[in-house]
């Protein structure tokens, strides 16, 4: 049996087409909305790539405007079949299985602009103890991370009340302290302000400075 610390991870990050991204931010972000969506995804990918247990990040997207910047950061980009979020995740996981069959596979939401590599590493270390595990979002309704050990079935249940769905599927909920940045996904202006309080990544911070200039 693999020791948890010896497990390396392939992380799959789904990125919507920009026209569909961050629609709940439209009123607050205005013409900055698509730039904000790209920036948030860039900070999520950059933090994941800086996390020592992460061997690769696989971005699944159908939007070339997002694919280019994320590939430039070092992500592997694969096409989104455009059949829903969980299908996109399974597409990325299938790619991971082809290129690194001995690695664990995780799904990570793309809207974590305050993500800290050390917090992600702590979650991955804990997840490696279980066949499947997940981290709930800050509201304890959704999910920001779901992962499985090597050679275990990858069965993500993202969307809506996904915390309950993952629990019902037998995944271990990771209730570790100190995962605030991993749990803080951003869908609304209030979410973004909460992420700002934690400390945004450089890409998102640059857009926010234009969106809400200091007084």
CA distance linking residue 8 with residue 149, whole number of Å: 10
Pair 66, 38: CB distance under 8 Å: yes
Mean pLDDT, residues 31-60: 93
**Annotated binding-site members:** 143, 159, 162
Q: Under a CB-based contact definition with an 8 Å cutoff, are residues 106 and 11 in contact?
A: yes
CA–CA separation, 41 vs 62, rounded Å? Answer: 14
Q: Which domains does the chain have, with CATH numbers?
A: 7-150+161-209 (3.90.550.10)
pLDDT band at 24 (very low <50, low <70, confident <90, very high): low
How much of the chain exceeds pLDDT 70, in percent? 90
Name the binding residues for phosphoenolpyruvate: 143, 159, 162
pLDDT of residue 16: 86
Asked which of 28-32, 50-54, 156-160, 164-168 is least confident by mean pLDDT, the reply is 28-32
Per-residue pLDDT, 91: 98
What pLDDT shows up at residue 1?
A: 43
Mean pLDDT of the chain: 91
């Amino acid at each position: 049996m693999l020791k948890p610390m010896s497990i390396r991870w392939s992380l799959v990050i789904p990125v919507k087409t920009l026209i569909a991204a961050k629609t709940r931010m439209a009123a607050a972000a205005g013409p900055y909305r698509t730039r904000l969506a790209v920036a948030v995804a860039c900070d999520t990918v950059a933090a994941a790539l800086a996390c020592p247990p992460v061997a690769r990040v696989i971005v699944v997207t159908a939007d070339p405007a997002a694919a280019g910047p994320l590939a430039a950061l070092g992500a592997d980009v694969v096409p989104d079949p455009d059949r829903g979020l969980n299908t996109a995740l399974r597409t990325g996981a299938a790619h991971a299985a082809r290129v690194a069959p001995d690695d664990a596979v995780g799904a990570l939401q793309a809207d974590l602009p305050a993500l800290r590599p050390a917090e992600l590493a702590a979650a991955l270390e804990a997840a490696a103890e279980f066949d499947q595990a997940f981290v709930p979002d800050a509201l304890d309704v959704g999910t920001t991370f779901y992962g499985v050990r090597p050679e275990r079935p990858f069965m993500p249940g993202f969307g809506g009340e996904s915390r309950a769905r993952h629990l019902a599927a037998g995944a271990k909920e990771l209730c570790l302290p100190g995962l605030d940045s991993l749990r803080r996904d951003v869908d609304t202006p209030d979410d973004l302000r909460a992420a700002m309080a934690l400390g945004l990544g450089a890409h998102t911070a640059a857009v926010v400075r234009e969106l809400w200039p200091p007084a």
